[in-house]
Chains A and B, each alone.
Chain A
Amino acid sequence: MSIPGEAPLTPAYRNNEIRERLYAQMALIRRFEQQILDLFAAGELFGTTHCYIGQEANAVGIINHLVPRDIIFSSHRCHGHFLARTGKADLLMAELMGRATGLVGGRGGSQHICYENFYSNGVQGGIVPTATGMALAEKMQGTGAIATVFMGDGTLGEGLVYEAFNLASLWSAPILFVIENNRWSQSTPVEKQLAGSMLARGRAFGIDSGEIESTDAEELYNYFGAIINKVRREQRPHLEVIHTYRLCHHSKSDDMRPAEEIELHRQSEPLPKLRSRLSQEVADRIDEEACAKVERAVIWARQQPFPSPVKLGTGSTAGVFNPSAGHGTAPQV
């Protein structure tokens, strides 16, 4: 009997369609991230951002196995996961530009987005038990949906992660914990902030745990198909560590890692790896489409209005000592 949402495993090395899809998603993520770094440099964007350059294969390797009802909870470094899930470069671009038609109307920006069953938040650790609760709610309501939560090696320093592991295992939450070990927690190398084993952290809680060192999108795609089917079928948690590398700054203009180390990892970049398995013609077309899509997103986003401060109010009433003064506003003096 098939489980709702369970995808048949595809022999991806023989499937051009999937190869092209994975490459196209990665090309979109890469182009998008490069574009926003340029826009920051040009002073067109507010605040900060955390790019996914170098880690694209993880998002596409996992997310293509998920069904629409499945939940994704991502972190500060969420653009890649979001674009792999939805392809909505225009809505994300408008959000980064702070526009009213952005994903969350300019309220969240780069780190705090929501679209259908995709969520992200910018404080480390707290999203992990929240995603666990979401997975349990789906299980209790019998929807067949599972949750996937993305965290980095740095997040493993937060105690709340282990409360979530314990609860997820104890109550059999259908959730995939993905640790993208990009080896650097902001400016701190993993060996200066993490003791012991990442895998043993999951196993100590009775969670099936595995690891893979790869920047090969097809390899990751094939690897994760079985894992996601297992989470869905067995309705219990699984933890997976992907050893990867961030080729860009932590946020922006803050990269002080050794140049030779970055150069070394550049040789196993995910995009050229997969590109080499496509025909030149197909790869060029995909690259052009990604550029054009991001270009259209920028043009569209620039035309969007900023949110009106008059509409501050929907959604929050706390702290209002004078309800008649309107939601979210201080008492009028």
Chain B
Amino acid sequence: MATNVLNSLNTALHKMLSEDPRVVVLGEDLLDPYAGAFKVTKGLSTKFPERILTTPLSEAGFTALGAGMAIRGLRPVVEIMFGDFLMLAADQIVNHIGKYRWMYNDQVRVPLVIRTPMGGRRGYGPTHSQTLEKHFIGAPGWHVVAPSPFHEPGTLLYRAVLEDDDPVLFIENKAMYARPVREAPAEGRLGDFHARTTSGTYPTVTLSFDSFSRADVTLVAYGGMAELAETAAEQLLMREEIFCEVVVPASLSPLDLDPILDSLRRTGKLVVCEEGTRTAGWGAELIAAVSARAFELLHAPPLRVAAEDLPIANTSTLETAILPQLEDIDQAVLRVCANSRRVTTR
């Protein structure tokens, strides 16, 4: 039976705690039987009582504690119960943790992982539904990583904790926890798609309908938006015969542009999907970087699919209107095709 994202992460935590005595986990309400608001830490405190530290409501405090532990030889994993609460630790993230290695001229390492559930679509309202990682992209010193169901999330977390010597902000889209993991192969089939996965610690997955020979639009999406983009691609193929390639990076920052440019060489048309607010978002940065690096590849103005620049409402009609939906991706693809300066050759 295929595992889901939640179990993949939980299994990875069990594995790293068994293998490496330097791993400690800090966060709110982590102890069994409650085991964290989303149960990612289930069973850990029973098995490793000394290394699962349930904390007071002190996000900045225990994040800083984790940083101190990391500098002094441990491998701490900090859980922030809701991604929205990352802002309570923002001074630590920006002014302290991300700076230490560089500011101290490479004399220290801060191998700290902050993992946190992000995202909406569950009716949690304005302060428990946001997608805030864009605020930390470009904060020096940090790696921002977001697994998708096309990655093995537990493997990425294991690498972030034990193989990455720099601080990692590990974003878990909360609507994704129950989704089955469908890890893409390095090169091969994944359902109706042909998949390609880059090498490296936090790889990028690219999905194509026909072995990467023909495509009309490059759809870039990460985390919880990845499966939405996949569904949009399937729908657009059936209904419009538009071939989308879906590019799913796990590393939001730094971002490997190469697989995106590789797809753009086939499509010339770019749509970037994110669940965070649109203005000054990840998509804006990506489009700027693509334009600077390879403007000649673009045959139409790139488009963004993102949340409205509004707080996220509690009630479902408003939440749906504020967050990016399947329909928005669909419309953006049609628009980018309509705006294309090049007639698509079929």
A binds B: yes
Once A114-B108, A126-B96, A167-B56 are accepted as A-B contacts, the answer to whether A319 and B254 lie under 8 Å apart by CB is yes
Q: Does B24 contact A (CB under 8 A)?
A: yes
Once A123-B95, A314-B106 are accepted as A-B contacts, the answer to whether A319 and B139 lie under 8 Å apart by CB is yes
- With a cutoff of 8 Å between Cβ atoms, the chain B residues found around residue A123 in the complex are 91, 95-96
Q: Does A83 contact B (CB under 8 A)?
A: no
A166 touches B56 (CB 8 A): yes
B64 touches A129 (CB 8 A): yes
Q: Does A239 contact B (CB under 8 A)?
A: no
CA–CA, A107 to B102, complex, Å? 8
Q: Please give the distance in Å from B333's CB to the nearest CB on chain A.
A: 24
Q: Does A174 contact B (CB under 8 A)?
A: no
Q: Please give the distance in Å from A104's CB to the nearest CB on chain B.
A: 4
Interface residues of B in 65-81 (CB under 8 A from A): 65-74, 76
Q: Does B177 contact A (CB under 8 A)?
A: no
Instruction: Determine the interface band of chain A, counting residues with CB < 8 A from chain B.
Output: 35 or more
Q: Does B326 contact A (CB under 8 A)?
A: no
- With a cutoff of 8 Å between Cβ atoms, the chain B residues found around residue A105 in the complex are 105
Q: Please give the distance in Å from B149's CB to the nearest CB on chain A.
A: 25
B69 touches A136 (CB 8 A): yes
Interface residues of A in 157-208 (CB under 8 A from B): 160, 163-164, 166-167, 170-171
Once A104-B107, A163-B60, A170-B56 are accepted as A-B contacts, the answer to whether A317 and B166 lie under 8 Å apart by CB is yes
B104 touches A126 (CB 8 A): no
A-contacting 9-mer, from B5-13, B229-237, B285-293: B285-293
Interface residues of B in 91-106 (CB under 8 A from A): 91-92, 95-96, 98-106
A166 touches B73 (CB 8 A): no
CA–CA, A131 to B96, complex, Å? 12
Q: Does A318 contact B (CB under 8 A)?
A: yes
- With a cutoff of 8 Å between Cβ atoms, the chain A residues found around residue B256 in the complex are 323
In the complex, residue of chain B having the shortest beta-carbon distance to the beta carbon of A95:
B105
B-contacting 9-mer, from A43-51, A227-235, A325-333: A325-333
Q: Please give the distance in Å from B138's CB to the nearest CB on chain A.
A: 4
In the complex, residue of chain A having the shortest beta-carbon distance to the beta carbon of B51:
A140
- With a cutoff of 8 Å between Cβ atoms, the chain A residues found around residue B65 in the complex are 129-130, 132-133, 136, 164, 167
Of B104, B285, B286, which contacts A108 at CB under 8 A? B104
B105 touches A167 (CB 8 A): no
- With a cutoff of 8 Å between Cβ atoms, the chain B residues found around residue A108 in the complex are 103-105
A103, A107, A317 interface centre (most CB from chain B within 10 Å): A317
Q: Please give the distance in Å from B259's CB to the nearest CB on chain A.
A: 12
In the complex, residue of chain A having the shortest beta-carbon distance to the beta carbon of B108:
A114
B253 touches A138 (CB 8 A): no
Q: Please give the distance in Å from A235's CB to the nearest CB on chain B.
A: 15
B100, B101, B104, B107 interface centre (most CB from chain A within 10 Å): B104
Of B58, B102, B288, which contacts A163 at CB under 8 A? B58
Interface residues of A in 297-322 (CB under 8 A from B): 314-322
Once A318-B143, A319-B139 are accepted as A-B contacts, the answer to whether A164 and B64 lie under 8 Å apart by CB is yes
CA–CA, A76 to B285, complex, Å? 34
CA–CA, A134 to B101, complex, Å? 15
Q: Please give the distance in Å from B113's CB to the nearest CB on chain A.
A: 14
Q: Please give the distance in Å from B250's CB to the nearest CB on chain A.
A: 14
Q: Please give the distance in Å from A100's CB to the nearest CB on chain B.
A: 9
CA–CA, A7 to B95, complex, Å? 36
CA–CA, A131 to B92, complex, Å? 13
A112 touches B254 (CB 8 A): no
Q: Does B55 contact A (CB under 8 A)?
A: yes
CA–CA, A204 to B115, complex, Å? 32
CA–CA, A121 to B292, complex, Å? 36
B144 touches A137 (CB 8 A): no
Instruction: Determine the interface band of chain B, counting residues with CB < 8 A from chain A.
Output: 35 or more
Q: Does B219 contact A (CB under 8 A)?
A: no
CA–CA, A322 to B254, complex, Å? 7
- With a cutoff of 8 Å between Cβ atoms, the chain A residues found around residue B96 in the complex are 121, 123, 126-127, 130
Interface residues of A in 107-131 (CB under 8 A from B): 107-108, 112-115, 119, 121, 123, 125-131
Interface residues of A in 249-276 (CB under 8 A from B): none
Q: Does A141 contact B (CB under 8 A)?
A: yes
Of A112, A113, A137, which contacts B68 at CB under 8 A? A137
CA–CA, A333 to B290, complex, Å? 10
Q: Does A71 contact B (CB under 8 A)?
A: yes
In the complex, residue of chain B having the shortest beta-carbon distance to the beta carbon of A129:
B64
In the complex, residue of chain A having the shortest beta-carbon distance to the beta carbon of B137:
A319
CA–CA, A134 to B96, complex, Å? 14
A322 touches B257 (CB 8 A): yes
- With a cutoff of 8 Å between Cβ atoms, the chain A residues found around residue B153 in the complex are none
CA–CA, A160 to B88, complex, Å? 10
- With a cutoff of 8 Å between Cβ atoms, the chain B residues found around residue A315 in the complex are 101-102, 105-106, 141
A105, A115, A315, A316 interface centre (most CB from chain B within 10 Å): A315
Q: Does B53 contact A (CB under 8 A)?
A: yes
Interface residues of B in 246-270 (CB under 8 A from A): 253-257
Q: Please give the distance in Å from A111's CB to the nearest CB on chain B.
A: 10
B289 touches A167 (CB 8 A): no
A318 touches B58 (CB 8 A): no
Q: Please give the distance in Å from A46's CB to the nearest CB on chain B.
A: 16
- With a cutoff of 8 Å between Cβ atoms, the chain B residues found around residue A140 in the complex are 24, 69, 74
With A164-B65, A316-B141 given, can you name 9 additional A-B contacts, CB distance below 8 Å?
A104-B107, A129-B60, A132-B65, A133-B71, A134-B71, A164-B61, A166-B56, A166-B58, A315-B101
Pairs across A and B, CB under 8 Å, 22 listed: A104-B105, A105-B105, A112-B104, A114-B100, A126-B64, A127-B96, A131-B68, A133-B70, A136-B68, A163-B61, A163-B62, A171-B53, A315-B106, A316-B98, A319-B139, A319-B253, A320-B253, A321-B257, A322-B257, A323-B256, A328-B140, A331-B292
Q: Contact residues of A with B, CB < 8 Å?
A: 71, 103-105, 107-108, 112-115, 119, 121, 123, 125-138, 140-141, 160, 163-164, 166-167, 170-171, 314-323, 328, 331-333
